[in-house]
Structure 1
Amino acid sequence: MINAKEIGERLVKLRGTTSRDAVAKAVGISISAISMYENGERIPRDAIKIKLAEFYKKSVQEIFFD
């Protein structure tokens, strides 16, 4: 399994020029949660992993496990 830091880097890359606020609103979580995920401080719960994957049009596997 990959570590939280690597997941964070992937999430930052996927977000690109989209604001954290826009992602947070679309996924239904706080901006601070997005920040913690992107900074490698936390790994999202499974339900949030699914919502992030749908938002970024990627699979959960691609983002969080490959």
Structure 2
Amino acid sequence: MKRELLQKLRKKNNLTQQEVAEILEITPVFYGMIERGERNPSLELAKKIADLFDSTIDEIFFNTKLYKLYNGQSTA
């Protein structure tokens, strides 16, 4: 399952996959695989990603409130 929200957050922050990977200290290939949903990050890495985008693990990886807001769905 492609993680479109993760891609939207990265682009909103004007970051490339390369830049995010450097911040997270992982390879750009691995970050791309996470963004495409081909690989899952460890809990520690998921937390770093959530912190980077001022979000939570749930919002980014489990399609909760933030996901719905970015996709024009009601959160009520």
Give the TM-score normalised by the residue count of structure 2.
0.72
CA distance in 2, matches of 1:59, 1:40: 17
Listed as ranges, the gaps of 5+ residues in structure 1 are none
- Measure how far apart 1:62 and its partner are: 1.1
Structure number with bigger Rg: 2
CA distance in 2, matches of 1:35, 1:58: 19
Higher relative contact order, structure no. (Cα contacts within 8 Å, ≥ 6 residues apart): 1
Task: Give runs of aligned pairs for residues 1-66 of structure 1, distance below 5 A.
Answer: 5-6=1-2, 8-16=3-11, 17-65=14-62, 66=64
Query: Would you identify which runs of 4 or more consecutive aligned residues in structure 1 move more than 3 Å?
Result: none
One-letter code aligned to 1:14: L
- Measure how far apart 1:60 and its partner are: 1.2
| More helix by percentage | 1
Matched residue pairs, number? 61
One-letter code aligned to 2:5: R
Listed as ranges, the gaps of 5+ residues in structure 2 are 65-76
CA root-mean-square deviation: 1.2
One-letter code aligned to 2:51: E
